[in-house]
Amino acid sequence: MHGLIFFYIQKFAEVACTGTASWVIARSNDNATTAQYLPSGVYPDAEAVELLQAIARSTGRPLPLILEQFGEFLAPHLLKVAAKYVDPGWRTLDLIERTESIIHSMIRNANPGAAPPVLETVRPSPDELHLVYGSSRQLCPMAKGLIRGLAMHFGDRITIDESSCMLRGDPFCSFILQLEEIDTHATRSPRVDTTVFLPAGAVAPPPSPAADVPHLPTTIGGYAIEGVIGHGGMGRVFLARDVALDREVAIKMLHPERCRDRVARERFLREGRAMAAIDHPHVMAIHQVGEDHGQPFIVMQRLRGCTLREYCDSIERMTLPESLRIGREIAEGLGAAHRNGLVHRDIKPTNIFLQDPRRTVKIIDFGLAWGTAEGSSSITVDGAVLGTPAYMSPERIAGHEIDATSDLFGLGVVLYELLANRLPFDGISMVAVLAAISRGHPRELAEFAPHLPDDLTSLVMRMIAFDKADRPGDADTVAAELATIERSLA
């Protein structure tokens, strides 16, 4: 655990035990082996728990209560430490929504050996936030205390519904946070849009002209900048021109503040290198990965069209032949990635781009991809849940080892949705969907699409099997089976 937490445990002990000698008492009552804790260091998790247990014994309070009270105490102190990363206009839910990318990234950047828990959030409305907390430490009460501490700091009234908890044997903790009342003396600013990068080449909205965007660079890596395609928490995507080859390209550039975050920087560059390693018509091409004045950038193929999600939202229902073709092309692209040792990990409709009038598939956004040789610990942080819940495999939710079959699960959910016009796992919230996937009982595809060939429904249900050993062997097998079904219907 990061030494900063130990520093604040000491301050908390002085308050909880009413006296500056309390830290000495706590240290003498625990089993820690470290003589001194530095705020910049990293120390065993067990020692922090031992110190908090010692405080619980000294005060006569149960440990869960001490953990929650420590969270409340810790929240405003963490806000002070992370002040330069926090927008002064944010309130409680705004900050919690950005905790992973701001506060925790700052901790990992200061000490790469630290592994803070990571939060995954969905914001259904300005006054509601769904949160999943995944951590091997299982300090759920402290997480709840942090939420309450932030709410007290901002003068917000938050109700917390904890629908699942690791301490009860669930694979993750889940909270539904509802903003009930805001301090009438506080002014709430409009919520800032935190949508992830728009697909490179998306045509709606059109690129902002260079003259309309402040601080727009004129060139990046020698490419002439013509406008902005999209933006998100990690940076911006620019429309640019490759003067030497006289062609349009899209350039994704990491935000200057994120460049100081080693983890974010490496993840960004890894995305570019991962995609550049794949030469396939159904994977977006990467032309260059580089840096401009210390800012990493990725030069990408300029795509024209829309995402699969946008296309599905614009039509009543996709035809069977088109669903099969799109599914097959995704499988073919994944096959190429897997043969290069890459697992995408986030296959979903927004990461499938349909190019030009023919709607040819291009798999985009390998930002969560990893090389299979790297091992699962290189990308996930402390059992974090990353990605879009509805398309996540059970092993991703549980924090188990990820391999190519997880991509097949995501593709299976996409195919199910195209064919049945609904998702296979029911749930009115992100938490409910995650729980349904964790239970591993999808509704039968034939129930909602009885007209489909049996071999197709069988294939899709195998792809979304709970046990990855029951899924098809590889993406090439899926592509071949879909091609066979296409031919049988021709």
Q: pLDDT tens across 131-184, in order?
A: 887 766 677 888 889 999 999 988 888 888 877 777 777 777 788 888 875 433
Same domain, 320 and 460: yes
Two structure tokens written together for 182:
């805001």
Q: Which pTM value belongs to this model?
A: 0.61
Same domain, 73 and 11: no
Residue-wise pLDDT for 312-327, tens only, equals 988 988 999 999 999 9
Q: Which of 13-22, 292-301, 481-490 has the highest mean pLDDT?
A: 481-490
Q: Report percent pLDDT > 90 for the chain.
A: 29
Query: Mean pLDDT lowest for which of 97-111, 350-364, 429-443, 450-464?
Result: 97-111
Task: Give dist(CA 170, CA 186) in Å, integer.
Answer: 37
The whole-number pLDDT of residue 247 equals: 92
The whole-number pLDDT of residue 104 equals: 58
Mean pLDDT of all residues in 343-361: 91
Two structure tokens written together for 427:
């749930």
**SS3 at position 162:** strand
Cis bond leading into 205, ω under 30°? yes
Q: Which of 337-351, 392-406, 443-457 has the highest mean pLDDT?
A: 443-457
Mean pLDDT of all residues in 38-50: 71
Same domain, 9 and 138: no
Q: Give domain status of residue 203, yes or no.
A: no
Which of the pair, 331 or 235, is modelled with greater confidence?
Answer: 331
Same domain, 187 and 223: no
The whole-number pLDDT of residue 198 equals: 31
Mean pLDDT of all residues in 191-199: 30
Same domain, 54 and 81: no
Task: Give dist(CA 410, CA 482) in Å, integer.
Answer: 16
Mean pLDDT of all residues in 359-380: 58
Task: Give dist(CA 185, CA 201) in Å, integer.
Answer: 44
Which amino acid is present at 32? Answer: A
Same domain, 263 and 356: no
What does the mean pLDDT of the chain come to?
78
Same domain, 408 and 320: yes
Band (288; pLDDT cuts 50, 70, 90): very high
Same domain, 82 and 169: yes
The whole-number pLDDT of residue 223 equals: 94
Residue-wise pLDDT for 213-248, tens only, equals 446 789 999 999 998 887 655 678 899 999 899 999
Two structure tokens written together for 136:
């091997």
Which DSSP helix (H) or strand (E) runs through 454? helix 454-463
Residue-wise pLDDT for 424-463, tens only, equals 987 766 667 777 888 888 999 999 999 999 999 999 999 9
Same domain, 46 and 176: no
β-strands 370-371, 342-343: how paired?
Answer: antiparallel
**Catalytic residue numbers?**
346
Total of domains in the chain: 4
Task: Residue 228: give the domain boundaries.
Answer: 208-301
> Last residue of a domain, which of 31, 61, 91?
61
* Chain centre distance of CA 28: 41
Mean pLDDT of all residues in 361-371: 71
Same domain, 315 and 439: yes
Same domain, 460 and 372: yes
**What crossing angle do the helices spanning 404-420 and 454-463 adopt, rounded to 10°?**
140
Same domain, 457 and 400: yes
